[in-house]
Structure 1
Amino acid sequence: MREIPANNGRRAFLKGSALVVAFSFLPKLAYAELNAMGLPKVLNKGLPGSLKSTPWLDAWIRIAADGKVTVCSGKVELGTGVRTALIQIAAEQLELMPADIMFIAGDTSLTPNEGFTAGSHTIPDSGTALLNAAAQVRALLLQGAAAKLKVSADSLWIRNGRITSAEGGSINYGAAIAGIDLHRQAAPASVLKPPSSYTLIGHPVPRVDIPGKLTGGSSYVQDIRLPGMLHARVIRPPTRDARLLSVDIAAAERLPGVLKIIRDGSYLAAVASDEWSAITAMRALTVSAKWEGGAVLPTPQTIHATLQALPSEDIVILNKGKMAMPAVRTLKSRFTKQYVMHGSIGPSCAVAHLTDGSMTVWTHTQGVFPLRSALAELLGMPDERVRCIHTEGSGCYGQNGADDVAADAVLIAKAMPGRPVRVQLMRDQENQWEPFAPAMITEIEAGLDASGRISYWHYELWSGSHNERPGNAGKLAPGWMLARPFVPSPSLPMLQPEGGGDRNALPLYVIPNAHITNHFLPRTPLRTSAMRSLGAHINILSIESTMDELSSMAALDPVEFRLRHLEDTRAQDVIRTAARQFGWEHRSRKRNRGFGFAFGQYKNLMGYVAIALELEVQPDTGKVSVVRVVAAVDCGQIVNPDGVINQIEGGIVQSTSWTLYEQLQFASNGIKSIDWASYPIMRFSQIPAKIEVHLLDRPGLPFLGVAEAAQGPMAGALANALAQATGKRLRNLPFGGPQLRS
């Protein structure tokens, strides 16, 4: 692997400085018109990627007089390596080394608004915007250099921040761009470098975020230490909607190091000069606090019946052909999924600072602009007086406690003007109050015709909201607890083709008669929101389990059965590649061992993934050992092969944990999964023994998001292998443990 250094970005940019820049690329009205991805309205539909909503070149790329280049993105690093990939894309088109770029991401004062970093959109949206913006800036650099050197642009070559003519003249990027205003709208078409000439895109580049994480350097929001910084802890109610009757504030304020106890209705927090003093005060307040009321929950055993009895908004997402078609063979099945927790390794943290009437908050939110609007409403301040700066958190992938703790930080900082305040949630607070991935139900009825092809497909699903990210203050838990509480905006379904609970509920297979309904549940007993892949995890599992059962009824190999029902050649390619690399045709049955295969294209829009695997089940204990996993991936033009492989491997491990082990424990009086003992995640000893990832690169084709593409196919392959190993089809997640004991 070539080692190509890269600039570490905003941390280096701001080190030793006090730069504050505030400007807006959009009219004020546009900020209020956000879609489900938190994006502002489209200003130019003809532009590629996120240029549609932020079309100005200088929103993405700026060149200083000395030639230094700054690249900006509204998408943020969540541990997936996208920071490195975005730098690669820009550097490729600008003919720079990655280390020559100052990269800034997710800052409401410095970067474009790209909504939430979610749904595997970063490379397709922000990467495509940067690819085109950088190419157009390169063309302007050549144009400016040609004019200043008085030569033809065709006689110039551009490399490492300088432009040189055949006659020997040379100027840097700053001189070349002088007099050319980059505050101009991007053009619909760009002159891109040919993919055959790429030296960065498609090649492995070491991730810029890894060195600090590997060496224990300051890498996360949890690591921030500012001069004069105070520490705070919050006291959450025992259950949602519980009301604080009384608490001994005076006793807590007498504790050493305690500076202030904040109470506003049922909102309670302690501020201290050091972290341990804040924890001591939190514990004292927890002991003395008296609460009444609170939500009464169902139980895990009754949750699915409860959900199906709730009022629903029934959305038909596919209705084609006739559902009264005759079938030679039919099957019906029902799958369920329990609530799942993010299980972030580090509990959420944020730092806020109120100075001169402006609030700055360092946060690991996945959407700095939508969060800014919610925090501004919470504080009663105009948006432009609130600045959100994304700083990585040690755990995310969906909506965990990051947005809530940012709300805690600004509420407490407002009470302590002039001093930065760091708020760190405790493990039990993170677990009990984060928005969980919804419990879900899917029901399928399908039939085969006389030729062994699927004749009809009837699919229904029930799910609460997968998108409660903050757009208003009522989406933030601290906002509910105030004396004058904020009301959450209504829960709305995420429409196709993205989908929420119905993400990937549309099979990519050719089925002549199909009816698919999403029973969206606007109100459910537990707080829910985004978790990686949303409904794709159980929907692909349900679809792929059914495909295996139908292939058995048709007396066909599962891979051959899938290929017969596909017209998409790229889908066929990944299936054939996974089967060939696994040696699917040469597998041999062994007792208590099973082989599984599954396929999916994330959202039917993004990365294609096919997975074949072998596992072993110990019938006396139910222990599952995944022996080998082989994945084939097509995500269009690959930016960083190592990054794609990392994400597929991570998705395989994460999905294995969800599918075999994870479920939230709760009872009528609240959440019981308060630690790692009561919410077990997969241990290192349980990860697949071997994972192989085979990439199908498509140079020159559009980028396809891939970070969440493996979760559904891995779940489906596990379900199919378990059915073969045990002789019984499991339908109620998680599958591990008692269900597998003979």
Structure 2
Amino acid sequence: MRRRDVLKGGALLLAFSLAPQVGAKAQGDPGGEGEAAGGARPGSLSQTPRLDSWIRVEADGRITVFTGKAELGQGIRTALWQVAVEELHADPALVTLQTADTSLTPDEGYTAGSQSMAESGTAIRHAGAQVRELLVAAASRRLGLDAGLLRAEYGRILAPDGRSLGFGDVAGDANTAQPAAPRSRLTDPAAFRIIGQSVPRRDLPAKLAGAPAYVQDLRLPGMLHARLVRPPQPRCRLLGVDVAATERMPGIEAVVREGSFLAVVARSEYEAIRGREQLAHDARWSDAPLLPDPGRIHDWLRQTDADVSVIHDETGLEAPAGEWIAATFRRPYQMHGSIGPSCAVAHLENGSLTVWSHTQGVSPDRAAIAELVGLDPSQVRVIHQDGSGCYGHNGADDAAGDAALIASRLSGRPVRVQWMREDEHVFEPYGSAMVGQVGARLSSDGRITQWRYDVWSTPHSTRPGTAGNLLAGRLLDPPRAPEPPADIPQPTGGGDRNAIPGYALPNLRVVKHFVPQMPLRVSAMRGLGAFHNVFSIESFMDELALRAEADPVAFRLAHLQDPRARAVVERAAGEFGWTAWRADAPMRGRGFAYARYKLLEAYCAVALEVEVERDTGEIRIGRVVAAVDAGEPVNPDGIRNQIEGGIVQSASWTLLESVRFSADGLASRDWATYPILRFGQAPASIAVHVVDRPGDPFLGTGEAAQGPAAAAIANAVADASGARIRDLPLRADRITAALAG
């Protein structure tokens, strides 16, 4: 879609509320990794209330729906489209969804925290209902009939006498250049035509057919190709470089050096790679600062100065009775490990810069890029284009900054920046290492009478922000300073996300130890601290059940009061056949875990079985059964996709993934030094059961399965082998060592 096409007449008045809201989108605020936006109006309407910022009806009946959220592979291009079609009562063939573009769509911050449906879906639903009513009202004036006698159906307004008008016929008479009302008359779920249906994903056909679909596929006329020459390790500075040999090479257009930022630009991708090799050979770098001892990184976390805060405290006056039991759980640094390395395209023309990126936040990225290249944000446009999936802050924003900086030095020529594999592995922001220390008191009748949980973590969001949060900004001379690291407050939390257990526990105290220092660059990774915290809590719940000689599922139900939580636990256990399950061979076991993501979003329970190879420590995951309550399901198959993908990703994190480093620097530079789950290691089967909640609010699903899946695997391994492994990942050598011990 071109901007001039959107601004053509013959449609509802277009007056988008597109002012940057950088302050409102800071780390931990709504639209970032924090709680869904509040306010008098529902969802993101509280921040962008104008109806015409969300819905546009053309004179020919075509409808464009706008969202500031990005399609990351989670299926919102389909689900948000379904919501719009349903509430508008539109012809599906005439409805198009426009995703994140700073010149076209509302500023909804980041696509993060499983908030797209709660924020954008809710906004589109209410805006769609109100626009439909405005269209009906316009038709009533045209037809001379009371609006209550008319109904909207399939893109037309129908009268009892047989007359009808298309949406486009009355579009010019419906004033949508007004704020949305706080309340809308939504469609009764009993009348739904498309919400609740497993509509095929709209983003998949091109991807499955190998057609151009990703930012990596984007080719513009006259486009140049660039490669970065990175330092040998993060935090090295460029001491000097001889560019003469590189500039003499065939196809080389330019060498760009800005402080320690070094890039080669060529007419073809192959020539850019050759130029990168030569330039890297001729560059001299400073030594990198020493890193902490990797074998003691978790001790370092606990001993380093931290901001300590009590996030939950319900300590009673009377001393609780029972035996005190404690355990410590550890998570390593882990990377997004995007299969396709990051990429971006940028074009500076007539003083305006356009950047195509697979960033998760086009508006925050625009602010950071504008600062980086010295332009006003109004001169920068960031367009989201699908890229390799990551679910978190990988190299996408940095690649966008790289492309913008190079293109700003080569005005008039589009520049494509493609990272190399080692760029992605070494320079992306990782998920933080963490420590969880949990203790509980267990009464003689098998009840938890006291609970204490402490969690240590470095930051979980250093997204841009500012130019200093982009890798290119840090390499300038002088380097741009990143924003001071800030933790994300409750009720959603960062490192302490899901640190408060979702059970009814007396004498409950939870303490967060936020460590601002970052020896390794870290930022948002799918689920943030919830993955580790749910793994710790749910593993420990199994240990307590074993100590109480109770069935793990029954033990959880005995401490659960939320009826929706109980329903999900019972559904997963029932579909798995938990009660009747018996190990049919030695070293086979079953595991169970449950959590409500952020205590605000989707409920998810996972039951699974594993087999452990005693001699090698290899773990094979067999049958997996999950149940999820995501509120009103817009696209049940899309929800299943998210839970299935989350379970597979969690299996990789749980069994294999750990960033390797030494005091001298990072060592995980490829798939050999950072192994991930292979096809042969994936679960034998996954069945996901979606609980239908018509009429209930949307609950975010994309990050609901990772924590429960990790704990269920660990619990199944303990059940199969008798060995409880509390340090992630559950590598084969740890299994064999535990069995030998």
* Residues 478-511 of structure 1, C-alpha deviations (whole Å, 9 max, x = no match): 1111112100010001001111111100001011
- Asked if 2 retains the 8 angstrom alpha-carbon contact of 1:38 and 1:367, the reply is no
Alignment of 1:705 with 2:700, yes or no, is yes
> Counterpart in 2 of 1:588?
582
Residues 1:40 and 1:185: Cα distance change in structure 2 (over 3 Å): farther
Cα 1:380–1:38 change in 2 (3 A) is: farther
Q: Per-residue deviation at 1:302? A: 1.7
> Which region of structure 1 is more displaced relative to structure 2, 147-156 or 56-65?
147-156
Which residue of structure 1 aligns with residue 203 of structure 2? 209
User: Does the CA contact (< 8 Å) of 2:18 and 2:106 recur in 1?
Assistant: no
Q: CA 1:158 to 1:656, structure 2 compared with 1: closer, same or farther past 3 Å?
A: same
Cα distance in structure 1, aligned partners of 2:669 and 2:245: 27
- Partner of 1:584: helix, strand, or coil? coil
Please give the secondary structure, in 2, of the residue aligned with 1:704: coil
Separation of aligned partners in 2, 1:136 and 1:358: 36
8 Å CA contact 1:37, 1:116 repeated in 2: no
Aligned residue for 1:228, secondary structure, equals: coil
Quick one: which of 667, 674, 677 aligns to 2:662? 667
Q: Look up the match of 1:9.
A: none
Separation of aligned partners in 2, 1:323 and 1:72: 54
Is residue 61–residue 166 contact of structure 2 (8 Å, CA) maintained in 1?
yes
Aligned partner (choices 709, 722, 727) of residue 722 of structure 2:
727
Q: Which residue does the alignment assign to 2:595?
A: 600
1:18 positional shift: 10
Distance 2:367 2:254 in 1: 27
Distance 1:736 1:19 in 2: 57
- C-alpha distance in structure 1 between counterparts of 2:92 and 2:379, whole Å: 33
- Displacement after TM superposition at 1:643 (Å): 0.2
The corresponding residue for 2:148 is 154
Show the counterpart of 2:493.
Answer: 499
Q: Does 1:658 align with 2:653?
A: yes
Match of 1:317 in 2: 311
1:185 to 170, 179, 184: 179
**Equivalent residue for 2:526?**
532
CA distance in 1, matches of 2:384, 2:347: 14
Please name the residue that 1:412 is paired with: 406
What is the letter of the counterpart of residue 738 of structure 1? D
Contact 2:325 2:442 in 1 (8 A): no
Distance 1:20 1:622, change over 3 A: farther
Q: Distance in 1 between matches of 2:62 and 2:6?
A: 19
Which residues of 2 match residues 73-112 of structure 1 at below 5 A? Answer: 73-112=67-106
- Code of the aligned partner of 1:34: K
Give the aligned partner of residue 167 of structure 1: 161
1:655-684: CA deviations, max 9, x gaps?
A: 011001110111122211111111110000
| Number of positions where the alignment pairs a residue of Structure 1 with one of Structure 2 | 729
3-state SS of 1:722 partner: helix
1:400 is matched with which residue: 385, 394, 397?
394
What displacement does 1:299 show? 3.7
CA contact (8 A) 1:144 1:180 kept: yes
For the residues of structure 1 that align with 2:720 and 2:318, how far apart are their CA atoms?
35
Q: Which moved more, 1:462-471 or 1:293-302?
A: 293-302
**1:14 positional shift:** 4.0
Instruction: List per-residue Cα deviations over 1:325-345 (Å, max 9, x = no partner).
Output: 233222110000111010101
Q: Which runs of 5+ in 1 are unaligned?
A: 1-12
- Provide the residue aligned with 1:115 in structure 2: 109
Within the alignment, does 1:276 sit opposite 2:267 as a pair? no
SS in 2 for 1:222: helix
Partner of 1:57: 51
Of stretches 300-309 and 187-196 in structure 1, the one that deviates more from structure 2 is 300-309
Among 610, 621, 636, the alignment partner of 2:631 is: 636
2:297 to 300, 303, 325: 303
Report deviation, 1:24: 5.5
Structure 1 Cα separation of the partners of residues 472 and 152 of structure 2: 53
Alignment of 1:217-228 (within 5 A): 217-228=211-222
Deviations 1:217-273 (A, max 9, x none): 011000000011111111111122211111111110000000100111111001111
CA shift for structure 1 position 552:
1.6
Q: Counterparts of 2:304 and 2:316 in 1: how far apart (Å)?
A: 29
Give 1:626's match in structure 2, choosing from 602, 621, 631.
621
Distance 2:251 2:210 in 1: 28
Aligned to 2:27: 36
Question: Which of the residues 452, 477, 486 maps onto 1:483?
Answer: 477
Q: Give the 3 Å change call, closer, same or farther, for CA 96–708 of structure 1 in structure 2.
A: same
1:25 matched to which residue of 2? 17
How far apart are the structure 2 equivalents of 1:215 and 1:270?
A: 33
Task: Report if aligned partners of 1:369, 1:388 keep a CA contact under 8 Å in 2.
Answer: yes
* Residues in 1 aligned to 2:29 and 2:374: alpha-carbon distance in whole angstroms: 21
User: Where do residues 555-566 of structure 1 align in structure 2 (5 Å cutoff)?
Assistant: 555-566=549-560
RMSD: 1.9
The offset of 1:372, in angstroms, is 0.6
The 5 A counterparts of 1:1-16 are: 13-14=1-2
Deviation at 1:565, TM superposition (A): 0.6
Letter in 2 for 1:264: E
Where does residue 338 of structure 2 map in the other structure? Answer: 344
Alignment correspondent of 1:8: none
In structure 2, relative to structure 1, the CA distance for the partners of 1:40 and 1:335 (3 Å cut) is closer
Other structure's SS at 2:502 match: coil
Pair 1:677-2:672 in alignment: yes
Q: Which residue in the other structure is 1:457 paired with?
A: 451
User: Measured at CA, do residues 390 and 323 of structure 1 come closer, stay the same or move farther in structure 2, by a change above 3 Å?
Assistant: farther
Give distance in 1, aligned partners of 2:174 and 2:412. Answer: 41
- Which of 639, 646, 656 is the matching residue for 2:641? 646
Further displaced range: 35-44 or 76-85: 35-44
CA distance 1:540–1:80, shift in 2 (3 Å):
same
Decide whether the 8 Å contact of 1:431 with 1:674 is kept in 2: yes
Amino acid across the alignment from 2:348: L
1:39 to 1:597, Cα distance in 2 relative to 1, 3 A:
closer
1:426, 1:522 → 2: CA distance?
A: 30
- Is the 2:243–2:279 contact (alpha carbons within 8 Å) kept by the matching residues of 1? yes
**3-state SS of 2:81 partner:** helix
Alpha carbons 2:294, 2:663 under 8 Å: kept? no
1:333 aligns with 2:324: no
Counterpart for residue 197 of structure 1? 191
Structure 2 CA distance for partners of 1:667 and 1:69, relative to 1, 3 Å: same
Structure 2 residue aligned with 1:689:
684
User: TM-score normalised to the size of structure 2?
Assistant: 0.96
Amino acid in structure 1 at the alignment position of 2:222: G
Task: Tell whether the 8 Å contact from 2:28 to 2:489 is kept in structure 1 after alignment.
Answer: no
